Amino acid sequence: MKPATIVGIILIVLGIAGFAFGGLSFTHKEKVIDLGPIQASADKKESLPIPPVLGALAIVGGVVLVAVGARRA
């Protein structure tokens, strides 16, 4: 399998995942209080939205790369 085809398939999968989930969300611990031996932390949820245009561009780019990889075979 050609490298362009592999990258194209990866882009298509990432584009579909971008449409399906609409973004990434993750949780990390944040220190709230740090007074010597006394420490308190809280979970903070962050999200990173993925615009639909970016997902569409990934899918189109992936299709183009798969087509170019198939044409050269």
Check residue 25 and give its pLDDT: 86
Check residue 6 and give its pLDDT: 92
Q: Does the pTM of the predicted model rise above 0.75?
A: no
Which residue ranges make up each domain of the chain?
A: 3-72
Mean pLDDT by 10 residues, the chain (73 residues): 90 90 87 88 90 93 92 70
Three-class SS of the chain: CCHHHHHHHHHHHHHHHHHHHCEEEEEEEEEEEEECCEEEEEEEEEEEECCHHHHHHHHHHHHHHHHHHHHHC
